[in-house]
Structure 1
Amino acid sequence: MDEQNPYQMPASGLGSASLENPEARLFKVSGIGLATFLGSLLAGGLLMAMNFRALGQPEKARKTILYSIAAFAGVIVVMFVLPESIPGVVFLIPQVVAMVQLAKQYQQSQINERRMRGIPTRSNWAAAGISLLVFLALMLLAIAAFLGWEALGVGVFQSILAAD
């Protein structure tokens, strides 16, 4: 007699389901570097997070976004503290190098493994487009902050007019 226990858990593979999409296309390390160059650490971090999500690692994706925001804020603070005579490339090159190295360390092996299986990578044009959208969003945020400071009377133009 084959009686089944009604309280027994079903024998399904639900517990071992992976979040990874084995056919998802990943951004190349060069695309992540390009995005960082064009759109800041936030753009490079966003592409890395998109790769982590496609690899079934949503927690790493979330941490990547948070670390990118923190690093971007740190760069902004350093830019305000250091003299204006320092060229912008001094800030840009270390960001790109750091993001490329992080992408190589954490994602290069998975990118290569997928390419060996014949899965194409995402286009660097897509990376450039996403980075330009991030840059546009940052510029709109900067303009909004600037206008807000001006409306409060603590902006750049207010201090210039007060000096006359």
Structure 2
Amino acid sequence: MSDIPQENPFQTPAAVLQDAATTATGEPLYRLAAVGIATFFGTPLAGAWVIVQNLKALGRSHESRNIWLMGIGLTLAIFVIGYFLPENTSGTPIAVGSVVGMYYLAKQTFDVAVERHLAAGGQWRSNWRAFGISLLFLLAIVVAILVSTLAFSLAQGSLFFRTVPA
């Protein structure tokens, strides 16, 4: 027998494999905590925005539609549930549930990519930026509620005073 090593035909080839769905484009990403911060202060819509920004940075913007629908649906569900809650009931479990739900949605969506980004020494976007974005979302929602309330009141004719027949 010769001393020349023979290749194993059953061994997988030694190649560097990259999963295109989880390879970062080199742009900074938001941490998972940023999703929770944005959701807590700016509703699930702000949390969805943070998730979508990470998906864009990861080259997975095709998944954004489902995230936006989830954020919109969860925000509407919170408002509907809040409307029907009795006055003496705390809304804290709803707020905590929405933060936890959006955090785990983000974790399921791009946790592996965030871990790879961390291992590769990638840069991070500031959690303060996520906080600021959440305040902008909150402001937009408050303005939308005020405008819709004003429009409804004007349509009902009961904004400031009613005309009482003599």
Name the CA shift for 1:148/1:23 in 2 (closer, same or farther; >3 Å): same
TM-score (norm 2): 0.78
Post-superposition shift, 1:61?
1.2
Within 5 Å, which residues of 2 pair with 1:143-154? 143-153=146-156
Equivalent residues of 2:49, 2:68 under 8 A apart: yes
Q: Which position in structure 2 is the counterpart of 1:123?
A: 126
Structure 2, unaligned runs of 5 or more: 1-19
Name the CA shift for 1:155/1:136 in 2 (closer, same or farther; >3 Å): farther
% identical aligned pairs = 30
Q: Which position in structure 1 is the counterpart of 2:65?
A: 62
C-alpha distance in structure 1 between counterparts of 2:51 and 2:61, whole Å: 11
Please list every run of at least 4 consecutive aligned residues from structure 1 whose deviation after the TM superposition is greater than 3 angstroms: 18-21, 154-159
Post-superposition shift, 1:154?
6.9
Q: Which position in structure 2 is the counterpart of 1:139?
A: 142
Q: Which position in structure 1 is the counterpart of 2:12?
A: none
Structure number with greater Rg is: 2
Q: Which position in structure 2 is the counterpart of 1:84?
A: 87
Q: Which position in structure 2 is the counterpart of 1:3?
A: none
Post-superposition shift, 1:158?
7.5
For these two proteins, the number of residue pairs brought into alignment is 144
TM-score (norm 1): 0.79
Name the CA shift for 1:154/1:84 in 2 (closer, same or farther; >3 Å): farther
Measured against aligned partners, the alpha-carbon deviations of 1:10-44 in whole angstroms (never above 9, x if no partner) come to xxxxxxxx797611111101011000011011100
**What is the aligned counterpart of 2:117 among 111, 114, 117?**
114
**What is the aligned counterpart of 1:27 among 15, 25, 30?**
30
Name the CA shift for 1:24/1:86 in 2 (closer, same or farther; >3 Å): same
Q: Which position in structure 2 is the counterpart of 1:10?
A: none
Measured against aligned partners, the alpha-carbon deviations of 1:62-87 in whole angstroms (never above 9, x if no partner) come to 21011110111111111112212211
Equivalent residues of 1:150, 1:158 under 8 A apart: no
The letter of the residue matching 1:50 is: Q
Name the CA shift for 1:146/1:129 in 2 (closer, same or farther; >3 Å): same
Larger helix fraction of residues? 1
Q: Which position in structure 1 is the counterpart of 2:3?
A: none
Equivalent residues of 1:40, 1:72 under 8 A apart: yes
The letter of the residue matching 1:117 is: A
Post-superposition shift, 1:115?
1.4
Report the RMSD for the aligned CA atoms in angstroms.
2.4
